[in-house]
Amino acid sequence: MKADALRQMFLEFFQSEGHTVISGSSLIPENDPTVLFTTAGMHPLVPYLLGEPHPAGTRLCDCQKCIRTGDIESVGDLSHLTFFEMLGNWSLGDYFKEEAIVWSYTFLTSSQYLGFNPDRLSVTVFAGDANVPRDDESVAIWKKLGIPEARIHALPMKDNWWGPAGKTGPCGPDTEMFVDTGRGACGADCRPGCSCGKYFEIWNDVFMQYNKLEDGQYVPLQQHNVDTGMGVERTIAMLQGKTSVYETELFVPLIAAISDMAGQHMNASDELAVAFRVVADHLRSAVFILGDNRGVSPGNLGQGYVLRRLIRRAVRYARKLGLESGALAKLSVPVIDGYRHVYPELDQRRDWITTELGQEEERFEKTLTRGMAELEKVLGKMVEHGQKQFPGRVAFRLYDTCGFPVEFTEEICAESGLTVDREGFDAAFVKHREVSKQSAEKAFKGGLADHSEYTTRLHTATHLLHKALQQTLGEHATQKGSNITAERLRFDFSHPEKLTPEQVAEVERIVNAAIEADYPIEFESMTLELAREKGAMALFGGKYGEMVKVYRIGNFSKEVCGGPHVQRTSELGRFRIVKEEASSAGVRRIRAVLE
């Protein structure tokens, strides 16, 4: 079974069970302060998991693009990926454990669907602890389906518990499904979750039935939710009998292109295989980040920092394979061509993707030259004074300011008989990452999951600002992102040049006139197709037929949105632009307040 067939089969199966197919969200979460990227299908749905009605109903299913970089150092093995697609089905206060587990089992084992042998299936459940009891309900359901107790493994919270998106919030036990690959067990303690390769995780059903409070207590949720996830890449690898996710049609064209450029085969050696996989994975991730409708550019903070790290790590391994400068832009072609029928935004942003990859690769080559010069200067002094360990903080400075990989530093130091203080480097890196994460949290504070009075007012004001910008500058001035706190709004929009003082004043005038007009704010649910026919702005739309909320502000504006709003514009107060500045190439940023 190919990936295209799996996506279609999964969504059609859950449609037949009363689910509405919704489109996946952006890789760049606009309103989640806990992550830099969408790492799971739940992140875009947090407001609805907390009880806000979803316009498509209480049973949903989708295919979500995800980025996870927590295991980036593991990429290069047979299964780890930084970008992947996650199939999921959702219950928002509708069905619960029995239906979710039965459907998972049916889809996995029925000859009508994936047809895995039930005898090869093992599962894990939450073992319970001092705060939350064992998930005996899931155990009973699995036994009823015919899974023997010997293949039902009760594991602790670190293995079978889905925590809240932040420090508090919805959470609960999960049950995970594993296929036995047929490889020999690594020992008497071998079980699902072991890294030896015998068990391959294929699906995860999360049961959000608790709310974690500030004091650490877990209390039952009024609305029980189900959140499941099945990885496309891993599942088709198992269905096709492959030993690696890199052997499926999702990677074969890219691996072949790398091989042609490198003039050598991927399996010539273990070291070469790792390099091939790292280049393939990191490049694919970079293409999807750059190709996203909210795509970011390489930078030194937040998403841009992660993107830069992925590209530069890909360049480093590409050089190990002997690939010449400019290789990444060329290698993006098989990725875009392989996915454009599923994610048309990649084709639409093709020029942007190739340009950014080429520029970042060129920048990295220049920084490598700078980094080598600084490294050799420090090394010379250390050798002169008989020092044997290169300071970790200096290694991180080279990495942070010059983009010089710590692995390069280690290799060069080893030639002079020195080691690198990796603990010092890791500590500096963790500190930098925390600062970056805190910056992101401040930027995202009070997004759609925050329905406080001031945040709601500012969120409503962004609709007025968006329309005012288009009236002043033209239809091209469309939203590229927004971050809202209870104190101010930050709004990014497409425009090639700095606004004049007269343009800023005109935008303020239009917004304040709309506020004074005391327009009523109303919404109705309709299909995305109908919303567009009625003239509603829908910038990040998905599949036709999907139900969305359309907010209408009098006769002033009409926009697809899922956030909180006031009832009338007169509740907003007076709108004032505090600052207008550049955000990135072709994108301007406005910071504004309500007084």
In the predicted model, is pLDDT for residue 325 greater than 80? Answer: yes
Instruction: In whole angstroms, give the CA distance from residue 467 to residue 158.
Output: 47
Task: Determine how β-strand 199-212 pairs with β-strand 169-180.
Answer: antiparallel
**CA pair distance 104, 204, nearest whole angstrom:** 9
Q: Is residue 107 part of a domain?
A: yes
Domain's final residue, options 224, 244, 264: 244
Dist CA 588 CA 382 (whole Å): 46
Q: pLDDT digit string (tens) for 137-161?
A: 999 999 999 999 999 999 999 999 9
pLDDT score at 277: 95
The DSSP code for 92 is E
Q: What is the pLDDT of residues 158-214, one digit of tens each?
A: 999 988 766 777 889 999 999 998 888 788 888 898 878 788 899 999 999 998 888
Pairing of strands 121-126, 152-155: parallel
Residue 279 · residue 257 · CB < 8 Å: no
Domain tally, the chain: 3
* pTM listed for this prediction: 0.73
**Residue 448 in domain:** no
Q: Report whether pLDDT(447) > 70.
A: no
Instruction: Give 176 or 413, the one with higher predicted confidence.
Output: 176
- The model's pLDDT over 99-136, given as tens digits with 9 standing for 90+, comes to 999 999 999 999 999 999 999 999 999 999 988 999 99
Give the count of beta carbons closer than 10 Å to the beta carbon of residue 498: 11
pLDDT band at 415 (very low <50, low <70, confident <90, very high): confident
Using an 8 Å Cβ cutoff, are 398 and 375 in contact? yes
Claim to verify: residue 165 and residue 300 sit in the same structural domain: no
More confident residue, 274 or 442: 274
The residue from 189, 219, 244 where one domain ends is 244
- Interstrand relation of 20-21 and 59-67 (parallel, antiparallel or unpaired): parallel
- Confidence (pLDDT) at 583: 79
The predicted structure's pLDDT at residue 445: 44
Q: 176 has which bridge partners?
A: 124, 204
Q: What share of the chain is helix, strand, coil (3-state, %, to 5)?
A: 45, 20, 35
In whole angstroms, give the CA distance from residue 464 to residue 277. 47
33-52 residue pLDDT tens? 567 898 888 878 877 887 88
- Look up the domain containing 574 and give its range: 453-594
Where a domain ends, among 227, 244, 261?
A: 244
- What pLDDT is attached to residue 294? 79
Q: Does 388 share its domain with 470?
A: no
Beta bridge partners of 205: 175, 228
**325 and 193 inside one domain:** no
Instruction: Please indicate, yes or no, whether residues 458 and 435 belong to a single structural domain of this protein.
Output: no
Domain identity same for 54 and 183: yes
Secondary structure letter of residue 595 according to DSSP: -
Take residue 264 and report the two structure tokens written for it: 């050598």
How far, in Å, are 20, 22, 183, 319, 545 from residue 527 at the CA level? 12, 11, 48, 49, 5
pLDDT of residue 437: 56
State what percent of residues in the chain have pLDDT above 90: 53
Cα 576 from Cα 106, distance rounded (Å): 57
Q: What is the pLDDT of residues 271-324, one digit of tens each?
A: 889 999 999 999 999 999 999 987 788 876 778 888 988 998 899 889 889 998
Low-confidence winner among 105-114, 223-232, 366-375, 577-586 (lowest mean pLDDT): 366-375
CATH number of the domain bearing residue 560 = 3.30.980.10
With 0-12 CB in 10 A as exposed, 13-18 as middle and 19+ as buried, what is 411? exposed
Q: What are phi and psi of 35, to 5 degrees?
A: -140, 155
**Cα separation, 61 vs 24, whole angstroms:** 9
| 413 and 270 fall within a common domain | yes
> Tell me, what's the pLDDT at 153?
96
DSSP 8-state secondary structure symbol assigned to residue 568: B
Question: What average pLDDT does this structure show over 349-373?
Answer: 87
424 and 286 in a common domain: yes
**What are the CA-CA distances from residue 460 to residues 204, 467, 555 (Å)?**
37, 12, 15
Band (544; pLDDT cuts 50, 70, 90): very low
- In the block, tokens 């199966």 appear at 13
Q: Which of 455, 439, 452 is nearest to 594 (CA)?
A: 455
Q: For residues 44 and 187, state if they share a domain.
A: yes
Mean pLDDT across the stretch 397-402? 80
Residue 422 within a domain: yes
Q: How confident is the model at residue 451 (pLDDT cuts 50, 70, 90)?
A: low
Kindly state whether residue 382 falls inside one of the protein's structural domains.
Answer: yes
Among 209, 283, 228, 224, CA closest to 253: 283
Per-residue tokens: 306: 């992660």
One domain, residues 216 and 274: no
User: What would the DSSP string read from start to end of 212-269?
Assistant: E-TTS-EEEEEEEEEEEEEEHHHHHHHHTT-SSGGGSTTTHHHHHHHHHHHTS-GGG-
d(CA 335, CA 283): 8
At residue 35's C-alpha, the angle toward residues 299 and 220, to 5°, is: 175
Which residues, 6 or more positions from 270, have their beta carbon under 8 angstroms from its beta carbon?
none
Per-residue model confidence as pLDDT tens digits over 499-533: 999 999 999 999 999 999 999 999 888 887 788 88
Cα–Cα dist 593/575, whole Å: 6
pLDDT at residue 60 above 80?
yes
